[in-house]
Amino acid sequence: MKCIECHFDNPPDSKFCEECGTQLIASRKAYISATKTLEAPAEKLTRGTTFAGRYEIIEELGKGGMAKVYRVEDKKIKEEVALKLIKPEIASNKKTIERFSNELKMARKIAHRNVCRMFDLGEEKGTHYITMEYVPGEDLKRLIRKVGQFNSGKTIFIAKQVCEGLAESHRLGVVHRDLKPQNIMVDEEGNARIMDFGIARSIKTKGITGEGVIIGTPKYMSPEQVEGKEVDQRSDIYSLGVTLYEMVTGKIPFEGNIPLNIVLKHKTEAPRNPRQLNTQIPEDLSRVILKCLEKDKEKRYQSASEVRSELEKIEESIPFTDRTFPKKKPITSRKITVTFGLKKLFIPGLVLIFLIIAVLAIWQIFLKKEDVPITSAKSSIAVLPFADLSPQKNREYLCDGIAETLINALTNIEGLRVPARTSTFSFKGKEKNVYEIGKKLDVETLLEGSVQVMGDRLRITAQLINTDDGYHLWSNHYDRELEDVFAIQDEIAQAIVKSLKIKLLGEKEAPLVKSYTENLEAYNLYLLGRFFWNKRGGEDLKKAIEYFEKAIEKDPSYAFAYSGLADTYIVLGDNLFWPPDNAFPKAKEAALKALEIDGSLAEAYTSLAAIKHEYEWNFTAAEEEFRKAIRIKPGYAPAHFWYAFLLSSMGRHEEAIREIKIARDLDPVAPRISANVGLLLYYARQYNQALEELSRTLELDPYHVAAHEYFGYVYAETGEYEKSISSFRQSIDLEKSNAEMSTDIAYVYALAGSKEKSREMLDNIINYSKQSFISSVSIASVFQALGEKGQVFAWLEKAYSERDAGLVDLKVNPRFDAVCSDPRFKELLKKIGLEK
């Protein structure tokens, strides 16, 4: 059912509009009659265009069923304001325009710091509009979604301000009638403002809507609104109660599949005590909320001032540390003059001066130390992927690249914990709850932002958010030329550091974000390369190589592009997409070139270390390179991750597990790291702990291919063969591979006694290996399970000649425990460098 008032599309059996609450017309004939005179929608306004010869569009702020709102600069008064354009199909209804005119008349009466100011109602070429105060920040509904539940202090802090705004509007005879979190804006300093008096009406005179017409939003309606009766200030008190309920519980008191169910519950059903949903709420606060929600308006608080008074009493009883205070001090302060007699002041004054001098002397002698870098309590930050607001939605790679650049820059700051890309990007495209993200990543602040590219212009918006309460610590927007992207990233990083009050070592003006190229085209190509590299599929990696090589063509001195190229070849060789002899030499060439250009690149040292470990088998040199990378960039998770594998391959299990857990702490919700913690525990023969870790991985990602594969490894060694084969099949199904070509399953069949089936599979695998690369180490493991030692060592020698990366784990791989005492095995370990 489409509402004839606001044109919101409602479910077919709806009785009232979900958007504006108007009773819906069921008759199609009546609907057609009501809408036949509607005008065509207004043309969309874009940034930089001017409306009504006066308002230059900056950005679209939002839209609803009745209007679209823009942030604009009023050229006449040289200030930013909000411009609400009423949809043409809505404006064609004279009663609706009368309602908006009423909005302006009512709201203009109210001049209060907790009410958004309304300016003007106008018409431009048939388009009706309203201008109002622009309030930077977020509406309360979004904050609730981010935080989940507010603590008592934050709830009371905001609610007191809403009560003040309501008290002033009620004093002037104005009832809001649509109070809800969406209509309460919280600015960057934590100040709340009531907005949108679109359906407000005077208490003293009857409005333009008649008896029996429901006006409001169903989820927040008072019982008297549900019945279509005349309302007064107590209806706003009820809506305030619903809002308070949602703030402390994260839920509204009444829910239903259709608006009619909800409005009937407002009339007939008692709300659950909010303490049942959040036990942290003080009983007194719960009592205030339930009194606001009384069905009988005579039993509610009779004024907003009463509610505020009750909230102030509760605030005094909660711990001081839980309270919330204004973030900005008043510009002026009241002067207090006290007159003392000179004699009365003189002696105590001398005593006070003497005490101050004594304390200072003691401090100078015993306590004063050299200045040390100051790190605020908020010394952790997660950089979330930036949103692509470009009209064509084709700049995802740039959004990802900017976020990753900021992660890299902030990781270099001593004393600041920054989760790695894999963890923060796991929230990409998901509904964000700031509190939950903060909890999962164990950070106290989040940086989120957006990128908008239009032609050669770039707009980046960034905001720093406190994860405890969803409040903005800092925000800014940057309107520049596209080529200024490097400078903008550094400005954002510097602003974050300043906001977090972290004192940097070295030169204060030194840039945090290092520009590895000044060529914008090369930078874009590099970002595209990383975008495909992060996907990790065989075809994606080929595309990554193309983009990295094109970036190098544009700027041959672009060290990061060479580093990206090295990483790509390593993944191709490590995951057996390419034979090691094809992949690793190319990787080494690229890594060395990156270091030739920039000898301080931790990423390139990590790549070089991985090559020395997995391909050259120079374990001592590999460890030196890993240590160098970690010294340069201690917060670089991949360095710790790959170093852990080096330590594991040498049998240094305790060090390996400690190192990979550091990587996990730096990248806490990365399934790949969690799964490999399980793998290293498997190599250490700690099978129960490995199963526990792998179970945690599947909680992060139930479809993680490697986790299922590693479960198969563990179950095979613990004798649970059916579980092992089932786990391998799940992994193969997720990867969309051929189970008949699985050396893992052939290995388990042999262990389980189905040697005929194992040999049949193995024959097919060996034939297939003649046309496509299959690890010789994995084939050798099947022969080991079949008990054919001669074939085991024949295939291991073949693996040695191929420089098979699987050989680096030979010393610790449980599949070869049965042959580890064989002299040929020990000799092979010596050739590889794993034994002296």
Residues that are catalytic = 178
Report residue 174: phi and psi, to 5°. Answer: -115, 125
DSSP reduced 3-state for 82: strand
Q: Which amino acid is at 406?
A: L
d(CA 203, CA 476): 41
Rg (CA), the chain: 33
Burial class (CB in 10 A: 0-12, 13-18, 19+), 686: middle
- Per DSSP, the residues of 594-638 read HHHH-TT-HHHHHHHHHHHHHTS--HHHHHHHHHHHHHH-TT-HH
Residue owning tokens 């189905």 = 754
Cα dihedral sign, 670-673-676-681: negative
Residues 6+ apart with CB under 8 A from 51: 45, 57, 70, 72, 83, 85, 124, 129
d(CA 564, CA 375): 33
Q: Could you tell me which residues are beta bridge partners of residue 2? A: 9
| 146 closest CA partner among 178, 194, 186 | 186
Number of Cβ atoms within 10 Å of the Cβ of 763: 11
Report residue 704: phi and psi, to 5°. Answer: -75, 120
| 802 closest CA partner among 623, 580, 642 | 580
Residues 6+ apart with CB under 8 A from 456: 481, 482, 483
Extract the tokens encoding 818.
Answer: 């049965």
Extract the tokens encoding 39.
Answer: 């005008």
d(CA 171, CA 167): 6
Residues 6+ apart with CB under 8 A from 636: 411, 602, 603, 606, 629, 630, 666
Helix axes 538-554, 559-574, angle to 10 degrees: 160
Extract the tokens encoding 636.
Answer: 């670089």
Extract the tokens encoding 787.
Answer: 């008990």
d(CA 472, CA 139): 12
Q: Which pairs with CB-CB distance under 8 Å and at least 24 residues apart come from 74-81?
A: 74/131, 75/50, 80/134, 81/55, 81/119, 81/131, 81/132, 81/133, 81/134
Extract the tokens encoding 682.
Answer: 């498997």
d(CA 554, CA 524): 11
d(CA 567, CA 561): 10
Report residue 315: phi and psi, to 5°. Answer: -60, -35
Beta-strand ranges (E) seen in 551-597 are none
**DSSP letter at 240?**
H
Residue owning tokens 């790959």 = 642
Residues 6+ apart with CB under 8 A from 290: 241, 271, 273, 274
